[in-house]
Amino acid sequence: MGNTHTGNGGNSGGWQADASSDATGTARPVSGRASDLPPLDVAGIHPRPDRKLTDEKMSEAAAQRVGRLGGGFRTMIFSSMATLLVIIALPLVLGLPSKVDPWSISSIANGNVNVTFLDADGNLLAHRGYRQEETVSLDEMPPYLVQAVLAMEDRRFYRHWGVDILGVLRAAQANFAANRIVEGGSTITQQLARNLYLDGSRNFGRKAQEAALAFWLEQHLTKKEILELYLNRIYLGAGAYGVEAASQVYFSKSVRDLTVSEAALIAGLPKAPAQLSPARDLARAQERAALVLEKLEETGWMSAAEIEAARAEPAMIDLEERSRELLAPYFVDWVYSRLPLWIDGPPRELVVETTIDLEMQRKAEEAVRASFERLRRGVEVDQAALVSINLSGEVKAMVGGQDYLQSQFNRATQAIRQPGSAFKPIVYMAALQNGYTPYSGVVDRPVKISGWRPLNANRRYSGWMQMRNAVAYSVNTIAVRVAHKVGLEKVADYARASGITTPMPEHPSLALGAMGTRLVELTGSYAPLANGGFETQAHGITRITNVDGKVLYERARKVVGAMPPPYSENNYGKERVDEDARTVPLFAKVATTRDAQTMTKMLRRVISIGTGRKASLGRREAAGKTGTTNDNRDAVFVGYTADLVTGVWMGNDNNAEMGRVYGGTLPATMWANFMKAAHEGMPRRKIYKRHWVMPHPSQYKKNEPPEADPEHEEVPVAETQAPPKYSVLRSKLNGLSSALSAASTLQPTMAETVQAPRSRRMDRSVFRSRDD
């Protein structure tokens, strides 16, 4: 496996006898060549040098070296000795522990947590954070794996005392030239010290601590123990800590069974595990593995035949199989990133119960995939995103891009893109709250505000129309006029109340969605329109516990739906509460139920006769809005039913034009395909009907227990008996209806016959080319 050496293995400290030395056997310094290294042990690992070299021999050898190399080397010797003195003194100054037991440290990953995610049904969804398998001894690891790691990370591992002086000087020169830290020069012992005790900061103070800890570790552990500990703890990407975990993650096998090419791939990861991970970029990982093989060839630790065989068969991972193993990866990343919002304290192992529905997630991924398979000629779009939530804000499906393995950037939660006309429902909700109705007369004609002239999508104007038609056909000029009259401040206030957190410019173009927002927030802003006006924040976590079952966070259960008795609204849409009812805040109201229902009726017409006809769900009632930005750079459709609110975005990561892609074309089609699949097996329900939801127990009068099953606290009841106080009124109305039905029909006389006035009807032909 490796070369054997004829020199005296008992000599140490970087010195060995040489046949070219004088007759007294005076030792001379070794070079960095493999032929100068000590002989390999049974595992193919270089043994720890003997440190019992006497001071007399050390001084004699140093004198010989200085004499040969001259005064230039004297300076390096003094610098090295000074550095060594500093390293020896640092443990005393820093107050390091007196003993070390690294294997007892429970937190493998400094600053991270090990998280197990469960789906809405309690099934295993994913793991995030660190993954550590069993500890594998150095004797059980393939020798070529250990040699590959040493060749890349610390070729002089067996020739230093924790800090490689030559490496430090080389790194110091590079850092001084760059006036910043560009090269670490860290040995394996220093990397282990950093992994065990330090954070990831890069400054000179941290490097001094690292060096002191490395020297301290070398005094308490053997070289074999240090190397074994390093290989079982080093981070190797994809959440894997240690070579055994990396072998399982990337190759689904034990480290004991790795081939030479697979060992070379793993040995190349410690420098930049996230960027070099084969799960993220297999080609780049293979290039790094080829470099590892070159380093092994330089050292002479492996034969040329073995190196060539490994090059001929580079390591491979099955990306398609790995893709199938990833369940809702964009959603898991999003939830994982939000954990610090709900938990405090040191790293720990957690169990997170989420809201994701894996069946809906599968249908969402299929809808996105199918949309890209059927792209028309001339359409240039490379990305899409989809978010689906229920009426209480629980995320049921999330797709953040076309291919997670190609790009982990989540376009549903991280990308800030313009919503275009999909923002208009927020404008018209502000209008409804300030006196407008669906039948308010508005005029579609050129408008100029502060020097800005908005245009309609088809560059045509249709004159007077009702506001509900302006919504259905996405008329830009009317949205701008309405927002200007209502006030941009009120539009922005409602947008923030409905869940949009990104900045909104104080410019008339806000009415047309000329502002950036996230798809998950835009989708959540439609939820109040579907649930009766209740504030609804999109969320993915229901409960967080530790491994012992202790609840660290639990989302409060909240009722969603129309306001139940004893709540009611007066004729002006204002909410009122019976005097004897105890008020308990369940959800903040961002709009009255009446306004939400009115807006829903207008958005239903978008799908039935307007720009969103391709989003039709047939006999199932649905409402939604299209959105397209300038030059067709973003296309959006957001809509809802009585069960789900879903938003779809399509565009290019480089913000390039897509061609003939509008919110009412591909996004609307993708939305419809997903919603039809997601609603399979669900009863068809109207978005608004006479129903009430289970009140909070504290809303009942004293000594009046609820009659309904508390398990249905969050489920709207389809049919319910009217409260007793309304029974008399209902009986009177039924009697009046029966009397009117029984009455005979009065026929008008000839003189009384009057021709009905001719009604003014709007010419809809001007909207035929609208494709917003």
Whose CA is closest to 262, among 241, 286, 245? Answer: 286
Cα dihedral 138, 142, 147, 150, rounded to 10, equals -50
Rounded Cα distance, 442 and 599, in Å: 17
Q: Cβ contacts of residue 34 below 8 Å, gap of 6+?
A: 2, 3, 299, 300, 301
Q: Cβ contacts of residue 225 below 8 Å, gap of 6+?
A: none
Query: Which segments of 200-259 does DSSP mark as H helices, in order?
Result: 204-220, 223-233, 243-251
Per DSSP, what are the bridge partners of residue 397? 388
User: Which residue among the candidates 277, 371, 388, 421 is catalytic per the annotation?
Assistant: 421
Token pair, residue 614, equals 């391709």
- Cα dihedral 471, 476, 479, 482 sign: negative
- Cα dihedral 299, 304, 305, 311 sign: positive
Q: What is the DSSP string of 118-140?
A: E-TTS-EEEEES-B------GGG
What single letter denotes the amino acid at residue 691?
H
Token pair, residue 30, equals 């070794």
User: Which residue among the candidates 133, 153, 228, 521 is catalytic per the annotation?
Assistant: 153
In the block, residue with structure tokens 């039924």: 734
Contact 525, 536 (CB under 8 A): no
Q: Cβ contacts of residue 119 below 8 Å, gap of 6+?
A: 125, 327, 328, 354, 356, 357, 358
With 0-12 / 13-18 / 19 or more C-beta atoms within 10 angstroms meaning exposed / middle / buried, residue 304 is exposed
| 525 classed as catalytic | no
Q: Reduce the DSSP state of residue 268 to 3 states and report it.
A: coil
- Cα dihedral 364, 410, 285, 188 sign: negative
Phi-psi region of 352 (alpha: psi -120 to 50; beta: other; left: phi over 0): beta
Token pair, residue 226, equals 């240090």
Contact 420, 513 (CB under 8 A): yes
- Cα of first residue to Cα of last residue in the chain, in angstroms, is 69
Contact 452, 666 (CB under 8 A): no
Whose CA is closest to 772, among 530, 542, 512? Answer: 512
| 153 classed as catalytic | yes
Contact 452, 508 (CB under 8 A): yes
Catalytic residue annotation: 153, 421
